[in-house]
Amino acid sequence: MLEKLGKPVVLVVTDNFAHDAKSSAEDNGMPTLRIVTVPADQYYKRRVSQEEVRPVAVNALNPIIDALTRPLTKAEANPKPKEINAASSIKIMAETHELALWKFNAMYLDNHWADGLPLLPPTPDRVKWMLKGTSRSPREVIGTVAPKNGVATIEKIAINAVMAGAKPEYLPVIIAAMEGLTDKDYDLLHVVASTGSFSLAIIVTGPIAKEIKMNSGIGFLGYGWQANASIGRAVRLSLINTGHLWPAENDMALVGRASSYTFQTFAENEENNPWKPYHVSLGFKPEDSCVTVSTVDSGFSGLLPAPVFGGGAVRPWTTDGIMDRIIKFISTNREGMTTWRRGTAIPSPMKYVLMFHPEFALELNRRNFDREKLQKYFYERTFVPYEELSPKEVESVKRRVDAGEVPADRVALFKEGLKPGGKIPLLNKPEDIHIIVAGGIPGYTFGMHYFAEGPYKPISHLTKLIRGATLTQAGR
Amino acid sequence: MKKNLIWIFIATAAATLLFEYSAIKSVEAAVTLEVLNPRAAIKPPPTLAPTPRVTELPGKRVGIYWNYKPGGNNFWNVVEELLKDKFPTTTILRYEGPFIPGDDLAAKIVKECDTIIYGVGD
């Protein structure tokens, strides 16, 4: 950006991010941007203090000075755009069908067009078969996909859906998920590329879930259900191939993800949901079917540990006990509060996707709680008393209020809380608690969480209507 | 006669080899699997060259931009100190902000600096 405004810039990164930085420079139209690297094996462990990190800075100084002052070479001053192979199909020849299948899989993996598991070949006939699941044009553009801004069309998504082992009746669900992820306000770049190793929840609600036999009961995040598995895998493959994504090149998730191949794809348990379906609570019609995409913790990055609040078949649980644990978790989950700052790596307060197991939800319903009441209940009970805030936390809250980083309709509430006897909300708004009934009987109540805003774009949770279905009654 | 027999033998052997080779070729090409490319096209943005460099740092205004990632400030504090030691007449200007500075901050940095060190990568 600063280069485009006419000032010479040097980008400084660690050497393990050199490929990512170069790739990002290409994506932004400046493939010969000057990049200086510092050794990752020194920088991260030494940055804890100036004294520790001094040798790294000393070694970086001359390369930085050189990159700032050495005239551009002819090649740097005349960059060429990277050529992309645009062949629409590939012919694989082999002695037998079986060998052709092996060759196809090896080639696609070598090209970084695969996920590492065997793929089904997307022959023209199979892709045509897949496209029978939607009335939408194969040429329709859904959006551009981070990090390299590939153009996702219905046809490209269908090709990836074939490779994933999906059925045509799943295609409208996969398309809707991709529409959510490529929405102009959804921060896809952060979930697909961040070192924080974030993941996705892909939640299907409405009558289509039952029609395509999605699992929402025991083992709803597990294996054995073609719809759950192949819808998630089709989204994963679509992200690899439309975003031109690859681990350790431009997907820098340090530990990968717990559900790397299929994400966390499941359906709301509508049979045991005592409340309105999730999408209806957002204003959609009961007969609509929707997909919600939500950036969530990977479950083991250490940045955002996934909490289990209770339930199960081993330890007895009580409704009050689970409620207390949820409140305690949210109200104490404020480690990053002093650094919440829009547009940075720690951009905002959290949002929560809470999975309630049916018995818990049914009991709450008996106590006259509905989803909206629960959101308000958790929101209000996780305020932090002013006296418990550290001076740095108070300063941070004041800064966020002054910078317009809290919702306009809640500024007065925050200001009121910033004085002795006051209380400060830990969440931007009650709607940042998303409650989904999922699982069987027995089941667990647990949470996934992430920032309410992404660092690059404002949305990290979005619900899209499924439309264009031709093979199911729902989603048409 | 003997010579002719040898030629016939050689010709037969060559024909056999050629036939077998063709057969092998035809077996290798027995199956053709046509598969579609799953990769999306990229509409690349216009390709730009970096801005010409400053020729030297003495007397120049050098910006250092940091994105608040913890620990980065320690590194950049030392870099600032080292630059000042080496080039006493260079002015170091420090900026902090999100990964991508907004328009106002970018305009301010561009106005105030001759060259910039961008420290938002990991």
In a domain, A59, yes or no: yes
Are A130 and A231 a contacting pair, CB within 8 Å?
no
Residues from chain B contacting residue A65 (CB–CB below 8 Å): 57, 83, 86
CB contact under 8 A, A5 and B98: no
Distance CA(A5)–CA(A12), nearest Å, equals 19
Residues A207-260 pLDDT 10s: 999 999 999 999 999 999 999 999 999 999 999 999 999 999 999 999 898 889
Distance CA(A203)–CA(A189), nearest Å, equals 20
A341-355 burial: b if 16+ Cβ within 10 Å, else e: bbbbbbbbbbbbbbb
With CA atoms as reference, the chain B residue closest to A340 would be B68
Tell me whether A94 touches chain B (CB under 8 Å): yes
With CA atoms as reference, the chain A residue closest to B69 would be A345
Q: What residues are paired with B63 via a beta bridge?
A: B93, B116
The band of B8, judged by pLDDT with boundaries at 50, 70 and 90, is: low
The tokens for A6 are: 């006419």
| CB neighbours of residue A161 within 10 Å | 32
Which residue's entry shows tokens 């993941």? A199
Which residue's entry shows tokens 């006897």? A421
With CA atoms as reference, the chain A residue closest to B105 would be A2
CB contact under 8 A, B69 and A78: no
Contacts for A434 with CB less than 8 Å, ≥ 6 apart:
A278, A292, A294, A351, A352, A353, A354, A461
Q: Span A181-210, mean pLDDT?
A: 96
CB contact under 8 A, B109 and A2: yes
* Average model confidence (pLDDT) across chain B: 84
Are A204 and A472 a contacting pair, CB within 8 Å?
no
Residue A295: which H helix or E strand, with range?
Answer: strand A290-296
* Average model confidence (pLDDT) across chain A: 94
The tokens for A269 are: 């348990």
Residues from chain B contacting residue A127 (CB–CB below 8 Å): 36
Asked whether residue B57 carries a pLDDT value surpassing 70, the answer given is: yes
User: What local confidence, expressed as pLDDT, does residue B120 receive?
Assistant: 74
ipTM of the complex: 0.92
With CA atoms as reference, the chain A residue closest to B87 would be A65
Residue type, A205: T
With CA atoms as reference, the chain A residue closest to B43 would be A150
User: What local confidence, expressed as pLDDT, does residue A260 receive?
Assistant: 92
User: What local confidence, expressed as pLDDT, does residue A7 receive?
Assistant: 93
Percent of chain A with pLDDT over 90: 88
Across the interface, of B47, B52, B114, the residue whose CB is closest to A72 is B52
CB contact under 8 A, B28 and A122: no
Distance CA(B62)–CA(B117), nearest Å, equals 7
Residues 151-170 in A contacting B (C-alpha not used; CB under 8 Å): 151-153, 156, 159-160, 163
Asked whether residue A1 carries a pLDDT value surpassing 80, the answer given is: no
Residue type, A37: T
The radius of gyration of chain B from alpha carbons, rounded to an integer in Å, stands at 35
Are A370 and A448 a contacting pair, CB within 8 Å?
no
Q: How far is CA A147 from CA A240, A243, A304, A381, in A?
A: 10, 6, 23, 39
Asked whether residue A154 carries a pLDDT value surpassing 90, the answer given is: yes
Tell me whether A89 touches chain B (CB under 8 Å): yes
Tell me whether A106 touches chain B (CB under 8 Å): no
Residues A60-119 pLDDT 10s: 999 999 999 999 999 999 998 776 657 899 999 999 999 999 999 999 999 999 999 999
Distance CA(A379)–CA(A98), nearest Å, equals 57
CB contact under 8 A, A32 and B30: no
With CA atoms as reference, the chain B residue closest to A15 would be B122
Inter-axis angle of helices A319-332 and A358-366, nearest 10? 100
Residue A435: which H helix or E strand, with range?
Answer: strand A433-437
CB contact under 8 A, B117 and A127: no
CB contact under 8 A, A122 and B48: no
Chain centroid to Cα A118, Å, comes to 24
DSSP string, A277-291: -HHHHTT--TT--EE
Domain that holds residue A46: 10-77
Residues A265-293 pLDDT 10s: 999 999 999 999 999 999 999 999 999 99
User: What local confidence, expressed as pLDDT, does residue A144 receive?
Assistant: 96
**Least-confidence region, from A81-85, A244-248, A369-373, A471-475:** A81-85
| A462, A259, A165, A161: CA torsion to nearest 10 | 30
Contacts for A360 with CB less than 8 Å, ≥ 6 apart:
A310, A311, A317, A319, A322, A443, A445
Closest CA–CA distance from residue B36 to any residue of chain A (Å): 4
Percent of chain B with pLDDT over 90: 57
CA proximity to B83, closest of A50, A79, A28, A58: A58
CB contact under 8 A, A10 and B116: yes
User: What local confidence, expressed as pLDDT, does residue B78 receive?
Assistant: 97
Residue A416: which H helix or E strand, with range?
Answer: helix A411-417
Residues from chain B contacting residue A83 (CB–CB below 8 Å): none
Say if residue A4 is exposed, middle or buried (CB neighbours under 10 Å; 0-12, 13-18, 19+).
middle
CB contact under 8 A, A2 and B106: yes
Interface test with A, best of B24, B27, B32, B37 (most A CBs within 10 A): B37
Residue A92: which H helix or E strand, with range?
Answer: strand A89-94
In a domain, A73, yes or no: yes
Long-range contacts of A57-61 (CB under 8 A, 24+ apart): A57/B75, A57/B78, A57/B79, A57/B82, A58/B78, A58/B82, A60/A12, A60/A36, A60/B79, A61/B79, A61/B82, A61/B83, A61/B86
Domain count, chain A: 1
CA proximity to A269, closest of A215, A311, A349: A215
DSSP 8-state symbol, A337: G
In a domain, A93, yes or no: no
User: What local confidence, expressed as pLDDT, does residue A475 receive?
Assistant: 97
Helix, strand, coil proportions of chain B in percent (round to 5)? 45, 20, 40
CB contact under 8 A, A89 and B49: no
Backbone angles phi, psi at A443, to 5 degrees: -155, 180
The band of A327, judged by pLDDT with boundaries at 50, 70 and 90, is: very high
Count of residues making up chain A? 476
Residues A437-447 pLDDT 10s: 999 999 999 99
In a domain, A72, yes or no: yes
The band of A358, judged by pLDDT with boundaries at 50, 70 and 90, is: very high
Residue A94: which H helix or E strand, with range?
Answer: strand A89-94
Tell me whether A48 touches chain B (CB under 8 Å): yes
With CA atoms as reference, the chain A residue closest to B115 would be A8
Closest CA–CA distance from residue B8 to any residue of chain A (Å): 33
Are A459 and A453 a contacting pair, CB within 8 Å?
yes
CA triple A11-A16-A17, angle to 5 deg = 40
DSSP 8-state symbol, A292: E
Tell me whether A182 touches chain B (CB under 8 Å): no
pTM metric for this prediction: 0.91
Question: Which residue did the predictor score with more confidence, A22 or A445?
Answer: A445
The band of B43, judged by pLDDT with boundaries at 50, 70 and 90, is: confident
Residues from chain B contacting residue A4 (CB–CB below 8 Å): 48
The tokens for A128 are: 């045509």
Asked whether residue A468 carries a pLDDT value surpassing 80, the answer given is: yes
User: What local confidence, expressed as pLDDT, does residue A289 receive?
Assistant: 98
In a domain, A375, yes or no: no
Q: Span A355-384, mean pLDDT?
A: 97
